[in-house]
Amino acid sequence: MEHVLRLEGVGLINKSNLPTNISLWRRIFNKFMTILVIAAVVLAIIPLLLILGDVFIRGVPALSLGFLTKLPTAANVPGGGIANAIVGSFTMVGIASLISVPIGIGAGIFFSEWSSSKISTVSSFMNDVLTGFPSIVLGLFVFVIIVLPTKQFSAFAAGVALSFVMLPIIARTTSESLKLVPMTLREASMALGVSRWKTVFKIAIGTGKTGLITGILLAVARATGETAPILLTASTSIYFAKSIFQPTASLTILIYNYGTSASQIWQTAAWGAALVLILIMLALNLVVKYVFGRNLGQVRTE
């Protein structure tokens, strides 16, 4: 206001030319945009609530201790469970984690600590391309290189396919987490005579480990909900797999098979399995949000 009065005093601004209702229009526009943002949030949340509500209503009747601990039964025989599918899903994701976590963290360290390297630039770009690959293409690739030569569907093949899904997520999250670590910490470490690799593992990773764990859990949640790669690599089974080199059941394939069945018993079981899968993924996301998310926020503010 002082600047306006000064400019008026020297004759640069004519007070009569100033819009008297400018603040009114700003308030109206501000309220209008606020309403639009709130409406967008509501429209984004409504589908999620409808899906969760529908799955919860249809899936709760199928839940019981026997449902979680028994093997599947025939289509018209009640009392079956999804125990083998739960164990199979965890087995496949476990194999995928054993493959993707070390490689993904190593790649993320390279992207972050040697970002000026041409190899790092090209590799980072290829990693981003892999992130957008359709999962069914990854499953088809593993089908060609593992399932066809061995002539055997297996949990191992599914784990390899899921590792391709998890790898770029872990690598990118690791890279971004390490970039949040102040460069001064690295410089102080090396100024004291600490080697480069010790600085990376002790200082950079030690400080940004919360972000690394967050990326791993997000990748696990993504892999747990995949269907196409498992369909092409692990097939399914009605029994517990005795080896990781045998066809293995999974929650996603069981939901697909049961959901498309004409049996009402299997359709109810499909809704129950869908609810179990959603609860697992929600649990992982809540852990990331409320346990590791707070610590990650503290790292950013330091």
Alpha-carbon torsion (277, 279, 284, 288), positive or negative: positive
Q: Among 211, 199, 209, 194, which residue's Cα sits nearest to residue 113? A: 199
Within a domain: residue 125? yes
Tell me the CATH number at 294.
Answer: 1.10.3720.10
Give the model's confidence band at 7: pLDDT under 50 very low, under 70 low, under 90 confident, else very high.
very low
Within a domain: residue 2? no
Alpha carbon separation from 144 to 139, 149, 165 (Å, rounded)? 9, 7, 17
Within a domain: residue 8? no
Q: Among 252, 174, 277, which residue's Cα sits nearest to residue 219? A: 174
Same domain, 50 and 94: no
Same domain, 133 and 28: no
AA identity, residue 248: T
Summarised one tens digit per residue, pLDDT across range 73-121 is 888 888 889 999 999 999 999 999 999 999 999 999 888 888 888 888 8
Same domain, 159 and 204: yes
Same domain, 111 and 218: yes
| CB 85 within 8 Å of CB 240 | no
Give the chain's domain count: 2
Alpha-carbon torsion (115, 120, 126, 127), positive or negative: negative
Same domain, 51 and 111: no
Within a domain: residue 290? yes
Within a domain: residue 264? yes
Q: DSSP assignment, residue 292? A: I
Specify the pTM.
0.81
Same domain, 134 and 97: yes
Within a domain: residue 5? no
Within a domain: residue 56? yes
| CB 276 within 8 Å of CB 82 | yes
Summarised one tens digit per residue, pLDDT across range 41-65 is 999 999 989 999 999 999 998 898 9
Within a domain: residue 238? yes
Domain that holds residue 41: 15-60
Alpha-carbon torsion (166, 172, 175, 178), positive or negative: negative
Please tell me the distance from the alpha carbon of residue 70 to that of residue 135, in angstroms, as a whole number.
Answer: 30
Residue 188 clears pLDDT 90, i.e. is over it = no
pLDDT at 2: 47
Highest mean pLDDT among 94-103, 236-245, 277-286: 94-103
Residue 138 clears pLDDT 80, i.e. is over it = yes
Same domain, 143 and 244: yes
